[in-house]
Each structure stands twice: as structure tokens, then as C-alpha cells.
Amino acid sequence: MSAPSTSRQRILDRVRVSTHASADPGYDPRSAYAALPRSFISHGELTAEARIHLMIERLREYGAEVVECSPEEVPATIAAQLAASGKHVFVAPSGIPPAWMVTAAWQISGLEWNLDQWDTGHGLTTAEIEKAEGVVTAAFCGVANSGTIAIHHSLTEGRRVLTLLPDWHLCILHAGQVVETLPEYFGRCHVPPSLVTWISGPSATADIEMTRIKGVHGPRFLHVILVRDPV
Amino acid sequence: MSHTAAAHPELDPTLALPFPQAALPVLRNPQLRKNVAHAIDVIQAKRGKLVEEKTDWQQLRQAASAIRAHALNNLAFYLEQFETRCTAAGGTVHWATDAAEARQIILDLLRQENATEVIKIKTMTSAEIQLNPSLEAAGISVFETDLAELILQLGKDEPSHIVVPALHVNRSQVREIFARRMGLENLSDDPQALTAAARTYLRQKFLTVPTAIGGANFLIAETGSVVVVESEGNGRMCLTLPRTLITLAGIEKVLPRFQDLEVMLQVLARSATGERMNPYTSLWTGVTPGDGPQRFHVVLLDNQRSSILGRPVERQTLKCIRCAACMNACPVYRQTGGHAYGSVYPGPIGAILTPQLMQMQHAQSLPYASSLCGACYEVCPVKINIPEVLIDLRAKVTDQERGRFNRFLDPMYLGMKMANFLFASAWRFRAAQRLGRIGLSFFTSRDGWIHSLPGMGAKWTQTRDLRGLPSETFRNWWAARAAVGVELKREAK
């Protein structure tokens, strides 16, 4: 068994010989990269209205529930969604607007809110998150073409575990966050994010006879509130 | 109830039977063929619909192919960049020249963790290095968490496809395996109930096992990030809950930039499962304080990839993003399923990848497991010209045999030599035709067909009839016709 550093050198040397590359540390393939063909569709052509419609349609095709509301109606809509879920123990990331929880807590009796304040050292334990029946978060972006929601795990979107263990996920997405194509989403990432979860509908499998079954290990229920910002 | 397969399939290319022999048990198992054909028809129909709606599909293929080729052409540069960025983000990068070294690195890491159990995300690369048996031998219990992999692990079966590895198993077979291994006697064969049983079975493992092993769909050089594409959420569980995460990835998995995913994610799900996007894709970068595993290792595996890289025609094999579209489109795979290929990589991509991973010392029958129809090339999202590589590998196999001394005992070699001798002279060719017609007339039935031949010829007539030779050759007929024509012309004058 060779030492790791030797294996590293051996692999890199073999790769260099095979690709006729130099070991010059100043070598930069940037110009070759810039010349790569990228003639696929980058920008969508739909109107803002049609783009939102497509996003909703695609989310529903995946089996996600979608409701629309105005910015003022967000807290009440969240409360209504929580009440209709039949669940009582919820978690949310610490960065979400306080009004989201206050209204819900005020309207529903027996509702339990747990804020995950891991950024200030008061994070919930895995057991506490596992006990929660639902989670409410924001998102970074929505991609209409594929009905995809991109979560970058900021303080409003929560740690990864938060949107993973609870069976029911309510995601608040603003119309202004919705783009038509995947390349447009990448255009909005000015700095590459270090954590991303791209979600396209609830967890699913087709491993048994190609029959699509909703809900394996991730949340089985995905609800989206699409907020119509004034233009 | 007939069982999944006649015997435990052998997926170690050094031990597997040649493809034509390995395919026989499947060809004689109508249940298995039905399961495979059904699954493939479903995926193919979905893929066809979603590729058709994508008006820039060919442009996406072109871009995907160019990005992958560029990454391979500059592989050393991008690997070093990945290592630097991943390390800066808190990850540890290990390099393994071959399967044995990769297994040892992973085993050492697990020992450092005092691990007695690991949870695993589906990774074909770990099957390539036969990781599970070596971990079990070292006393570490392995829990596969992908539904299909779980079915195979509990059923002591092997994967037959790289995206839906248990597609050869039907619902009643899954029910039987789960009922027996999970102790659930009253389990129904409804896929919903079977999936729920798997969820319950694995939930406690996700929450308690502190070490996970997974693969990578892509490594991002620019950022040192790793990307895992999945459907069920078992991947997210393994990537998020454990204390320690070990990622095993082939060195060819690297992409130059984060933005390259705008192409790859568009072509991968459509090609693999016929979805616009798979339910979950995760990207992470080293270690994030407070979020996910706090110890993260990447094992970069060479295992012959660097030598494949050095062969101009074969290099494109490494562009593969493991979508399995080629096997879904392949008329041979549709008949034989995956086990016949004797490798964790079946289908057309397996037929070119496996012999190369084996340095052409094993699996030499695989380049012949194709009709060269080109369906695989047409569907490949990164435009790997699989038929071109197949033909090149066939040439290599032929060259190998040319050097073998005992080729003089090989009936194929002798037959070809004989044909060469006969076809080289018109006189010998005509004589052979006359002799052949006389010889075959003893076996030809009254209906003009040969139903059974002795010796070597039986290999043909076992599964199909052979048309008997006509009573005269084309040359004889032409000569006779010309003679008659001349006769008629003379009479007309």
C-alpha cells in the first residue's frame, strides 16, 4: 500500500501524461473554457403572468399544493395552511418574519412553534426537529420550467435538516423569485452558493415496477404559498 | 412463485461468464424478461415525451458534451483545483490509484470513527470497488438506503441497471423479500405499502448511525463542492444527519464550474428517469458549521481511468454522467437485462467501460454484446459515440487473439482461415458451393428449411431455423439465363 501523497502524485502524473498536459502551475484553461458552445436557451420568453402560471402548473404536476396570496395576506395564509394541515408541532428557521408565526399562533389553539436559532447557538436538536410535524421556510428561487424550488439554506431558509425531517413542508415563494429557465436561476447566483437543495416536488420513488410513489424519506407533503408582489 | 434469478448473479468481471453464456438464464426466464421490458418501456416513453418538448435538446447535448470533454482534456488542472477548494472549505481529499487502495482508505477512516455501522447512498462506484463485502468482512454493518439497493441487499441480489438497479424485481418479489427480512407477514404487494415499510425500516438508522458513505454525480472544481442527484430523500438524510460523511468519486466526475450544472441538471433527469427534474439535488461544500456532517472526506478513485484517458477513441467513455439512457434504448439490454453483462455497469456504456476498467484482460465478450445499431449514441446526453468505441475495442480483442498461440485450436479462427482460403479463388469457391449443397441436402427438410444441424452448426439451429441452400447458385442461374437469352435472340433473327 502506497502513502496517500504518492498515490496523489502518481494519479496526477498519469492524468497529465494521458492528456499531454504540462505540470506548470501557471497553466490556465480559461480561454478554452470560454470558447465552449452554449447555444441552448438561456432566457425564457414568457410574460410574468405566464411564468407564474407555469410554475404553479409544474408544482401541481409533482403533487405539490399551491395557493396564491398578496403580500399582506401572507401571515393569514400561513395560518390557514397550518390549520388545514391537521398538524400541531411546527419548526421554522430563526430568520423568518415574526409576523408569520404570531398570526398563526394567535389563530390556532394548541399550536406549538419552535424556532431553530442555531446561528445564535440555540439550535434545535435532531430529536426536536424529528418530533416536529411541519416546517415553514422561505426559498431562494423558483424555476418554472421544471417546477423546481432552490433553497440556499440562509437564515430564512433554514439548515438542511430543518426541511428534511418534518413530513410537511410549507414554502413561501415570491413571484419575483420565479424565473422561467434553469440558466436564469444560475444567472441569479452571483456568487456560487456553498449549500443548495433543489426540490422538485415531494420525495418520490419509482423503484418498484416504475410506479411513482410519493413520499419516501423526505417530506411527503410540499405546500407552496406563491406571493403575488405588486408589479 | 419463481424467484428473482436462477442463481446469485456474478458481477465481478474477473469471474463472470462470457456474455452469450451469462445471458442464457435470462433468456429462459420469461418473468425476468417481462419485468425488464416493462420498466424500460415506461422510462423510454417518459424520456421521449420530455426530450421532445425541449426545443434546444441538441444544443444542450452539444454543450454537455463539450463541457465534459473540456473537463477531461484538462483533468489534472481541475482535480487539483477541486482538491484546493474542497480542502479550504474543511474537507479532506484522498487519492486512490485502484480499488484495493480505495477500500483501505475508507476502512481506515471508518476505524478512526470507531464505526460499527454505516448508512449508504446508492453509488455504483462503491459497487465497482466491491466495497460492501470488504466492510462486512471487517465487521462493519452496511445499510443501503436507496429503496432499490435495499431490495437487492435484503434479497441478496445484484444491481441490473445503474439508475433503477432493481428493475428486474417485481412487486410480489419485493413483498416476499421485505416480509421475510423485515418480519412483516401481513405486508401487501402494493408499492405504496412496500415503500412505507422501507421508510419505517430505515428511519431509525438515519437518526442514529453516525457515519455515511455516498458517491458523487458531479465534483465542482471552481468551488470544491459535491453534487448528489436523487429522488427519495435517503441521500439528503445521509448527507445531513451523520457526523461523518465519506464520498467516493471517480476522478472523471469533475466539472469546471458551478454554472455548468445549468446544462447537466437539464439533461440528466430527462435522460435518466424521464422527469423534468429529479425530486432532490443536493450540493455541499466541505464542512458547514452547524449544518450537516462536521467531518467530510472525498476519496478520488483512479482505477484505470487515467489510462482510458490516454486513448484517443476511448477517452469519451469518461464523459459518461451515468444516466443509463443507453441501456434503456439498447435492443440487446432489453432482451438480456443487466446481469448478463457480469459487471455493475451493464448495457452499452458497461460494454465499453467494463473491459477498459479490466485493462482488456477480462470481459472481452462485452464489446460484441451489441448490434451496433447506434440507438445508444443517439440518446446519450453527452454524445458518447458508443458504437465507435465498441468497434475499436473489438479490434483490440482481435489483436489480442492474434497473438495467442492456441488460436490454432479455435474453431472461429480456423473457420475464418478456411473462408479466406476458399474465397481467394473462384475455382475453390465454386467447388465449396457444390460440396456445401450436397452436404446440407441431408439436413434440409422438404419445406426448404434446416431445423437441426450437428456439431458447431447446432449453435445456430438451437434457437432458429436456417434457410436451406437453393438448388442452383446465382452465378449458375445467370449463366443459364444468358445462354437462353442468346438462344432466343438467334431464333428471333
What is the reported pLDDT for B491?
76
A209 in contact with B, Cβ within 8 Å: yes
CB contacts under 8 A, A 132-191 vs B, are 143, 145-148, 153, 159-161, 164, 182-183, 185-186, 189
Q: What is the DSSP letter of B140?
A: -
Of A115, A100, A135, A93, the residue nearest A221 (C-alpha): A135
Of all helices (H) and strands (E), which one includes residue B246? strand B244-250
pLDDT at A230 over 90: no
Please answer yes or no on whether B258 and A164 come within 8 Å at the CB atom: no
Q: What is the pLDDT of residues B185-227, one digit of tens each?
A: 999 999 999 999 999 999 999 999 999 999 999 999 999 999 9
Please answer yes or no on whether A215 and B199 come within 8 Å at the CB atom: yes
Q: Beta strand pairing status for B225-230 and B280-285? A: antiparallel
A55 in contact with B, Cβ within 8 Å: no
pLDDT at A2 over 60: no
Q: What is the pLDDT of residues A151-173, one digit of tens each?
A: 999 999 999 999 999 999 999 99
The C-alpha atoms of residue B84 and residue B105 are separated, in whole angstroms, by: 20
pLDDT at B73 over 50: yes
Cell numbers 458518447: residue: B384
Q: What is the pLDDT of residues A79-114, one digit of tens each?
A: 999 999 999 999 999 999 988 888 877 778 788 889
Please answer yes or no on whether A164 and B237 come within 8 Å at the CB atom: yes
Q: What is the pLDDT of residues B263-321, one digit of tens each?
A: 999 999 999 999 999 999 999 999 999 999 999 999 999 999 999 999 999 999 999 99
Helices (H), B227-290: 234-240, 261-273
What is the reported pLDDT for B335?
94
- Inter-axis angle of helices B147-154 and B171-182, nearest 10: 70
Q: What is the pLDDT of residues B82-134, one digit of tens each?
A: 999 999 999 999 999 999 999 999 999 999 999 999 999 999 999 999 999 99
A122 in contact with B, Cβ within 8 Å: no
Break chain B into its structural domains and give their ranges. Answer: 409-492
The C-alpha atoms of residue B385 and residue B406 are separated, in whole angstroms, by: 34
Contact A218, A171 (CB under 8 A): no
Residue A140 zone, left/alpha/beta (φ > 0; ψ -120 to 50; rest): alpha
CB contacts under 8 A, A 2-41 vs B, are 2, 4, 7-8, 10-12, 14-19, 21, 23, 27-29, 32-33, 36-41
Of all helices (H) and strands (E), which one includes residue A179? strand A178-179
Mutation to test the A interface, candidates B240, B268, B298, most A Cβ within 10 Å: B240
pLDDT band of residue B410 (cuts 50, 70, 90) is: confident
Per-chain mean pLDDT for chain A: 92
**Per-residue cell: B493:** 433473327
pLDDT band of residue B408 (cuts 50, 70, 90) is: confident
Please answer yes or no on whether A217 and B291 come within 8 Å at the CB atom: no
Please answer yes or no on whether A18 and B306 come within 8 Å at the CB atom: yes
More confident residue, A210 or B362: B362
What is the reported pLDDT for A231?
60
A57 CA to chain B: closest CA distance, Å? 13
The C-alpha atoms of residue B262 and residue A187 are separated, in whole angstroms, by: 10
Q: Is the dihedral of CA B140, B143, B148, B151 positive or negative?
A: positive
Contact B116, B141 (CB under 8 A): yes
The C-alpha atoms of residue B205 and residue B200 are separated, in whole angstroms, by: 10
ipTM: 0.96
Please answer yes or no on whether B241 and A62 come within 8 Å at the CB atom: no
In this complex, which of A127, A183, A216 lies closest to B195 when CB atoms are compared?
Answer: A216
Q: What is the pLDDT of residues A31-60, one digit of tens each?
A: 999 999 999 999 999 999 999 999 999 999
What is the reported pLDDT for B5?
42
* Share of residues in chain B with pLDDT > 70 (%): 98
What is the reported pLDDT for B192?
94
pLDDT band of residue A135 (cuts 50, 70, 90) is: very high
Contact B309, B362 (CB under 8 A): no
In the predicted model, what is the mean pLDDT of residues B392-411?
Answer: 85
B309 CA to chain A: closest CA distance, Å? 6
Task: Quote the radius of gyration of chain A (alpha carbons, Å).
Answer: 22
Per-chain mean pLDDT for chain B: 94
Instruction: For chains A and B, count residue pairs whose Cβ atoms are closer than 8 Å.
Output: 260
What is the reported pLDDT for B3?
41
The C-alpha atoms of residue A26 and residue A49 are separated, in whole angstroms, by: 49
B361 CA to chain A: closest CA distance, Å? 20
What is the reported pLDDT for B6?
43
Q: What is the CATH number of domain A49-227?
A: 3.40.50.10420
pLDDT band of residue B462 (cuts 50, 70, 90) is: confident
In this complex, which of B78, B148, B280 lies closest to A203 when CB atoms are compared?
Answer: B280
Give me the count of residues in chain A: 231
Please answer yes or no on whether B192 and A213 come within 8 Å at the CB atom: yes
B212 CA to chain A: closest CA distance, Å? 15
DSSP for B385-452, written as a single string: -HHHHHHHHHHHHHHHHHT-GGGGG-HHHHHHHHHHHHHT-HHHHHHHHHHHHHHHHTTB-TTSEE--
In this complex, which of A7, A194, A195 lies closest to B101 when CB atoms are compared?
Answer: A7
A120 in contact with B, Cβ within 8 Å: no
Q: How deeply is A36 buried, as exposed, middle or buried, from its count of CB atoms within 10 A (0-12, 13-18, 19+)?
A: middle
A218 in contact with B, Cβ within 8 Å: yes
Q: Beta strand pairing status for B117-120 and A195-199? A: unpaired
What is the reported pLDDT for A3?
53
In the predicted model, what is the mean pLDDT of residues B363-377?
Answer: 97
pLDDT at B401 over 90: no
Q: What is the dihedral of CA B117, B120, B124, B126, to 10 degrees?
A: -30
* Share of residues in chain B with pLDDT > 90 (%): 83
Break chain A into its structural domains and give their ranges. Answer: 49-227
Mutation to test the A interface, candidates B57, B84, B95, most A Cβ within 10 Å: B95
Nearest residue on chain B to A217, alpha-carbon basis: B233
More confident residue, B212 or B25: B212
Residues of A in contact with B225 (CB under 8 A): 192, 194
pLDDT at B404 over 90: no
In the predicted model, what is the mean pLDDT of residues B459-464?
Answer: 85
A194 CA to chain B: closest CA distance, Å? 5
Please answer yes or no on whether B280 and A159 come within 8 Å at the CB atom: no
What is the reported pLDDT for A5?
65
Q: What is the pLDDT of residues A168-209, one digit of tens each?
A: 999 999 999 999 999 999 999 999 999 999 999 888 898 898
Q: What is the pLDDT of residues B228-244, one digit of tens each?
A: 999 999 999 999 999 99
Mutation to test the B interface, candidates A6, A11, A184, most B Cβ within 10 Å: A11
B303 CA to chain A: closest CA distance, Å? 10
Residues of B in contact with A211 (CB under 8 A): 171, 191
pLDDT band of residue B457 (cuts 50, 70, 90) is: confident
Q: How deeply is B183 buried, as exposed, middle or buried, from its count of CB atoms within 10 A (0-12, 13-18, 19+)?
A: exposed
What is the reported pLDDT for B9?
81
In the predicted model, what is the mean pLDDT of residues B312-340?
Answer: 97
Please answer yes or no on whether B191 and A2 come within 8 Å at the CB atom: no
